[in-house]
Amino acid sequence: MFSSLKYCESNRVFYFRCMDKFCYECGTEIKGRVDKKFCDDSCRSAFNNKINNENNALVKKVNKILRKNRTILFALNPDGKAKTNKSHLMRAGFNFEYFTHTYTTKEGKTYYFCYEQGYLPLENDWYFLVVREEN
C-alpha cells in the first residue's frame, strides 16, 4: 500500500505516498477520484493537525531556546561589547547548541549569533560578546 516516500515542502515532513487508494489517515480503502488522499474531511483535518502540531511544537521549543539565549547575551552585554566565561553562561542557562547564524571573519574567527546578540569563543572558555548592527 505504501510505495514511495515523498517530501512535503510546505510542512517540511516526509510522508509515504499511497499509490493505492487508501486513506492517509485511517487506511480505509477510498472509493472515488484517483487523486483523493482521505476518505473524508475529518480524516484530512486529523492528518493535517497531527503534522502541524508536531512541527509547531518543535518550532516553539527552538524559538524558546533562542529567545532565552538572546536574553542572556543581552543581560551580560548591555553596552554592546563585553567578556564573559563559559560557566557564567552555563549558570544562566545558555544553550550552546542553538544559534541563528554565524559570521566568519577574514581571519577565520567565527562569531555565533542569537538574532543580533553574538559571541566569539576565546581561549580558556572565555567569550567575547558583541551586538550586530542592523542595517
DSSP conformational letter for 130: E
Residue 51 CB, shortest distance to Zn ion, in Å, is: 15
Query: Which of 1, 19, 26, 57 is in the footprint of Zn ion by CB under 5 A?
Result: 26
* 23 part of the interface to Zn ion, by CB under 5 A: yes
Nearer Cβ to Zn ion (25/111):
25
Which helix (H) or strand (E) segment holds residue 13: the answer is: strand 13-18
Residue 7 CB, shortest distance to Zn ion, in Å, is: 22
Nearer Cβ to Zn ion (43/129):
43
Nearer Cβ to Zn ion (23/72):
23
Scored b (16 or more CB within 10 A) or e, 52-64 reads: eeeeeeeeeeeee
Looking up cell 547564524 gives 101
> In angstroms, how far is the first alpha carbon of the chain from the final one?
53
Residues of the shown chain interacting with Zn ion in the complex, contacts defined by CB under 5 A: 23, 25-26, 28, 39, 43
